[in-house]
Amino acid sequence: MELVFVIILGALWGSFANVCIVRIPKNKDVVSGRSNCPKCKKKIVWYDNIPIISYLILNGKCRKCKKSISFQYVVVELLNIISFALIYLLFGISLTTLLLFILSLSFIIIFFIDLKHFIIPNIITFPMMALGFVKSFDPNLNPIFPNYVNSLIGGIFGYGIIWSIIFFYKQIKKKEGMGLGDAKLFGVIGLWFGLKAIPFVIFISSAIALISAIPDLIKKSKKLSSQIPFGPYIIIGTLIYLIFEKKIDSLFYL
């Protein structure tokens, strides 16, 4: 029954993530106001807004205008359900679980906003920085979280190293390379998981981004200087880090 509750919770918060993904780039309120069809702008009634189920019943179309609704809504809700369920199965009912619920939800929102709009919103990263540092004062949390000293050092290093890359790239090339949103996201990762996470995530996320760009580079549809949303790669790199965190610990003894 607990797992069923977590799945329902994941679906509901996944629906909220969709609201954030649509409204935050438009600077709209994510709390008040009912959802509407992105095509005809008509309000969506509650029974047409049940996560995943309503999409399937309506065959992915608006009841009013019959135009297709993006499958992204289902993908986001499914990802949040899966992430919530996995976190619960790994950590049970605990404060660690609640914290990781919040982090995973934030990562999903950032992933899809950056993928489409090339921005990582401060309204997500700043609260996650604060929460990442505050939680480090609790000595009873899971060891995946560092103490407050390591958290602070990790946050400063994560933000500082990316800020330095941005600064020196701009001095040499006379144009922007990465965005400060990426630096803030690395600050979040450092504050949540400590100094040891940063080098690994930088390397893995950069490698994945480069590998994924190779087909476009070969086809010459993109250049090395082309803008890419780096946030999703940072998030993927962080997920890989968390999967192999114990092995990384044994290698570096940090």
CA distance 118 to 230: 8
User: Residue 132 belongs to what H/E stretch?
Assistant: helix 122-134
Is 188 contained in some domain?
Answer: yes
pLDDT tens digits, one per residue of 18-43: 999 999 999 988 887 778 877 887 88
What size, in residues, is the chain? 254
Is 233 contained in some domain?
Answer: yes
Would you give the distance in Å from CA 204 to the centre of its chain? 16
Q: What is the pLDDT confidence band of residue 9, given thresholds at 50, 70 and 90?
A: very high
- Dihedral angle, C-alpha 96, 98, 103, 107, nearest 10 °: 130
Is 239 contained in some domain?
Answer: yes
CB 73 within 8 A of CB 58: no
Is 210 contained in some domain?
Answer: yes
Q: What is the pLDDT confidence band of residue 226, given thresholds at 50, 70 and 90?
A: low
CA distance 121 to 123: 5
CA of 211: how far to CAs of 181, 214, 216, 217, in Å?
22, 5, 10, 10
Give the range of the structural domain holding residue 153, as residue numbers without chain letter: 135-254
Tell me how many domains the chain contains: 1
Q: What pTM was computed for the model?
A: 0.91
Q: What is the pLDDT confidence band of residue 254, given thresholds at 50, 70 and 90?
A: very low
CB 42 within 8 A of CB 62: yes
Is 171 contained in some domain?
Answer: yes
pLDDT tens digits, one per residue of 95-119: 999 999 999 999 999 999 999 999 9
CB 52 within 8 A of CB 36: no
Is 230 contained in some domain?
Answer: yes
Is 176 contained in some domain?
Answer: yes
Of 3-7, 47-51, 145-149, 233-237, the least confident: 47-51
**Greatest mean pLDDT range, 51-60, 124-133, 158-167:** 124-133
Is 202 contained in some domain?
Answer: yes
What amino acid is encoded at 179 in this protein?
Answer: G
Q: Please give the backbone phi and psi of residue 249, each rounded to the nearest 5 degrees, phi first.
A: -60, -45
The better pLDDT of the pair 120, 213 is held by 120
Closest Cα partner for 232 from 93, 128, 113, 149? 113
CA of 14: how far to CAs of 134, 182, 215, 235, 244, in Å?
25, 23, 32, 17, 26
| 3-state percent helix, strand, coil for the chain, nearest multiple of 5 | 70, 0, 30
Answer whether residue 179 shows pLDDT above 80. no
Answer whether residue 48 shows pLDDT above 90. no
Residue 107, token pair as written in the block: 């990562």
